[in-house]
Amino acid sequence: MREPSESQRQAVDHLSGPAQVIAGPGSGKTFVITCRILHLIRHHHIPPEQILVITYTKAAAQEMKERFEKAWAARDGGAGGIHSNVNFGTFHSICYNILRRSGISQSNSLIKESDKRKLLQILLGNHGLSSKCTYDNISFLINTISRIKNLGNSCWQDELPENADFSFQELHILMAEYDSYLLEQKMLDFDDMIIRCLGLLSENPAVCRKYQKMFSYILVDEFQDINNPQYEILKLLALPENNLFVVGDDDQGIYGFRGAEPEIMKRFAGDFFIKSAFTESSVKNTAGHRAVPGKYPAKSIAGEKISAGNQIFLTENYRSGADIVELAGKMIGHNKERFPKKFHPKNPGGKVTFSCFDTRKEEEMCLLKELSCIRTELLPDAAIILRTNMEVMQYAGLLKEAGIGVKGICLSEENMFHGFMMEDMLSFLCYLYEGRQRKDFIGFMNKPNRFFARASLPFETVTSEHMKQYYQKNPAMLTEIGYFFGQIQIAASLQPYLALSLFRKTLGYDGYLRQKARDCAEYQRWMAKADNIQSCFKKYACGTPIRRFIEEQAELEGEGRPKTDRKEGVSILTMHGAKGLEFSKVFLPDVNEGVIPGRESIRANTLEEERRLLYVAITRAKKELFIYYTKERNRKPSRFLEGLIPV
């Protein structure tokens, strides 16, 4: 195990009171946390069972534990024992254990993600909103409920995107019914665990003191991803000594949509240190890089002890080449809500390539050409990082067609059951076979656009007669309605597989897909997916509810899927999914306005988070970074690239 650098050593050697470590990308924060645990046990003889290490995800907790155990074994000549009692966990696992040991949640079960989705689908159906039961809409509801639970009702109006598919009233009703069902069934979600734990610690001093004594030293990773209830729990557990050591990067706070508040990093200094404002000059040492700004003396305010504290900056980057670090620093420097810092790359070089294309097809061909030049055994050290899951699926299909290996489960069949095409086809079939319901008709009536108005559908059951009454003075629309319902009548007499063929060919759905696709390659991928969806209905047995049949098929496909990921090939990730990873070569396609930042990102705080998201993607690159954007359909490069693209 290598020796820590000067600034890393300052963090490792910190013993008592609060400390805030602001760790930039590639600065070795996991190494610092591991070394500090070792230092506390070996040099200060802190009992390992009194050390609590909190991470953001279960995988991160396991990785941290394994790194610590490996470091302990290396320094102890392979001996084990004492280290095994260090507590590693996520906020959720720790809160769950506190509740369970206190007898609060013994009768409660944790709702699974799949059950949460099914519950919200049912609640939407109860309100006649089944047409909004898309995978993305359900994800939006889950994230919005989580955000409201963590931030409170104050975030209702300010945070609802303009393109949201739900009104404030609908969200309020759905959340109330969601919580009511969980309470009735004695179930909890992850956010409930945090909130109940906070209530327990706040209202029961004896329980709070028990855990304060149990955890004398608390270390927190990814502190920028914390939300307010989690922060309040930390402040309670850390009392009275406030031996709280937090590590994070305000420039990598990208989970605001879940309720995370990166600004808590700034609040930490005000809550725990005597001074909370740091100037550029106060944090420069003789080497010219940010380190420790100094210690603040302990002070008593209204009888409460305010601890001495350290704020330590780790700005050395051991991951990326100098040019990549410089680019990332210039871009993120435009954000205003951040700690100012100067980055110091430890590796020279770092190649950055900007490429502009007339069409997306040209962009894809260039990407494939670059990937084809990489030796097969080196593909796992390359990544394509994109803004959305939909783009991930599109590029996975593109590479699959080109015969380039993709790491992980490529084009999982489960995804076939989640997209908009599945929703459109289900709406058509449900309308044919399950009562001619208005909610189903709305899902496909204007795909392609027939200019049918919702006002022409006055009842829950849709018939041609009702629509003809609305358009009785419009001969052209009467002809359109007659033809449309004539084809629907034919489709209703067919098996679902053949009915979908009529829907696609005769009623023009394939033409709708052609118009919707951004280019020929995307259209071809969509057509292949539509073929797969249609083929799925060859197995359909008469009498089975359509949506239940699809749920069963999704479960069957899931059971037959390989349990282990493919190890070789290029990684294709979202910007959120790339967090914490690194690759020698990173490709960032579609860095255009409307993609990053997204069209809905119009407020200052959401724009700053979008810039942080691109910053995370850029800083995954070690040696080479490729940034692509197109001019197709008058698209512009992302505003975040202004001043960075070479003239």
Confidence of residue 105 (pLDDT cuts 50, 70, 90): low
296, with CB counted inside 10 A (0-12, 13-18, 19+), is buried
Q: Which segment of 78-92, 199-213, 524-538 scores lowest on mean pLDDT?
A: 78-92
Confidence of residue 420 (pLDDT cuts 50, 70, 90): confident
Of the CATH numbers 1.10.150, 3.40.50, 1.10.3470, 1.10.486, which one belongs to the domain with range 420-555?
Answer: 1.10.486
Strand partners, 314: 23
Report the pLDDT value the prediction gives residue 69, as an integer from 0 to 100.
85
Confidence of residue 77 (pLDDT cuts 50, 70, 90): low
20, with CB counted inside 10 A (0-12, 13-18, 19+), is buried
Output the six-digit token pair for 242.
């406030």
Q: What percent of the chain has a predicted confidence (pLDDT) above 90?
A: 46
Three-class DSSP category at 348: coil
Residue 306 has pLDDT above 90, yes or no: no
Please state whether the peptide bond connecting residue 448 to the residue before it is cis, i.e. omega within 30 degrees of 0. yes
Report the pLDDT value the prediction gives residue 309, as an integer from 0 to 100.
62
Q: How far apart are CA 49 and CA 29, in angstroms?
A: 22
Q: How far apart are CA 492 and CA 616, in angstroms?
A: 51
CB 292 within 8 A of CB 14: no
CB 436 within 8 A of CB 461: yes
Please state whether the peptide bond connecting residue 240 to the residue before it is cis, i.e. omega within 30 degrees of 0. yes
Q: What is the pLDDT of residues 205-225, one digit of tens each?
A: 999 999 999 999 999 999 999
Report the pLDDT value the prediction gives residue 282, as an integer from 0 to 100.
34
Sequence-distant (6+) residues with CB within 8 A of 150 are 191, 194, 227, 228, 229, 258, 259
Q: What angle do CA 224, 225, 227 make, to 5 degrees?
A: 105
Superfamily of domain 6-104+194-274+305-313: P-loop containing nucleotide triphosphate hydrolases (3.40.50.300)
Three-class DSSP category at 299: strand
Confidence of residue 98 (pLDDT cuts 50, 70, 90): very high
Closest CA to 84 of 54, 51, 55, 57: 51
Q: Which segment of 86-95, 297-306, 311-320, 361-370 scores lowest on mean pLDDT?
A: 297-306
Q: Which segment of 160-169, 310-319, 422-431, 564-573 scores lowest on mean pLDDT?
A: 160-169
Q: How far apart are CA 425 and CA 533, in angstroms?
A: 8
Instruction: Tell me how many helices (H) and strands (E) the chain has.
Output: 24, 17
Mean pLDDT of the chain: 84
Q: How far apart are CA 193 and CA 139, in angstroms?
A: 20
Q: Tell me the mean pLDDT in the region 102-114.
A: 76
Q: How far apart are CA 204 and CA 278, in angstroms?
A: 37
Location of structure tokens 């507590």: 87
Residue 74 has pLDDT above 80, yes or no: no
Higher pLDDT, 328 or 60: 328
Q: Tell me the mean pLDDT in the region 47-67.
A: 88
Report the pLDDT value the prediction gives residue 457, as an integer from 0 to 100.
92
Residue 195 has pLDDT above 70, yes or no: yes
CB 314 within 8 A of CB 7: yes
Three-class DSSP category at 279: coil
Confidence of residue 83 (pLDDT cuts 50, 70, 90): low
Burial 191-209 (b: 16+ CB within 10 A, else e): bbbbbbbbebbeeeeebbe
Rounded to 10 degrees, the C-alpha dihedral 387/390/396/400 comes to: -150
Q: How far apart are CA 358 and CA 631, in angstroms?
A: 5
- The pair phi, psi for residue 248, each rounded to 5°, is -170, 180
* Count of all residues that appear for the chain in the document: 647
What is the model's pTM? 0.71
Q: Which segment of 76-80, 181-185, 434-438, 621-625 scores lowest on mean pLDDT?
A: 76-80
Q: What is the pLDDT of residues 502-521, one digit of tens each?
A: 999 999 999 999 988 877 87
Q: What is the pLDDT of residues 109-136, one digit of tens each?
A: 788 888 888 889 888 878 878 777 777 7
Residue 160 has pLDDT above 90, yes or no: no
- Sheet strand arrangement including 217-220: 87-90, 51-55, 217-220, 244-248, 19-23, 310-314
Residue 434 has pLDDT above 70, yes or no: yes
* Axis crossing angle, helix 190-203 with helix 135-151, rounded to the nearest 10: 10
142, with CB counted inside 10 A (0-12, 13-18, 19+), is middle
Q: How far apart are CA 34 and CA 30, in angstroms?
A: 6
Distances (CA, A) of 576 to 312, 614, 615: 26, 10, 11
303: left (phi over 0), alpha (psi -120 to 50) or beta: left
Confidence of residue 601 (pLDDT cuts 50, 70, 90): low
Output the six-digit token pair for 501.
């063929």
Q: What is the pLDDT of residues 341-389, one digit of tens each?
A: 899 999 999 999 999 999 989 999 999 999 999 998 999 999 999 998 7
449, with CB counted inside 10 A (0-12, 13-18, 19+), is exposed
Sequence-distant (6+) residues with CB within 8 A of 208 are 201, 202, 236, 237
Q: What is the pLDDT of residues 396-409, one digit of tens each?
A: 888 988 889 888 64
Closest CA to 592 of 579, 610, 616, 572: 610
Residue 248: which H helix or E strand, with range? strand 244-248
Q: How far apart are CA 27 and CA 333, in angstroms?
A: 18
CATH topology of domain 317-408+568-641: Rossmann fold (3.40.50)
Q: How far apart are CA 399 and CA 478, in angstroms?
A: 47
Q: What is the pLDDT of residues 244-303, one digit of tens each?
A: 999 999 999 988 877 778 789 888 988 887 533 333 333 333 233 333 333 333 333 333
Location of structure tokens 């000549």: 77
Report the pLDDT value the prediction gives residue 646, as an integer from 0 to 100.
86
Q: What percent of the chain has a predicted confidence (pLDDT) above 70?
A: 86
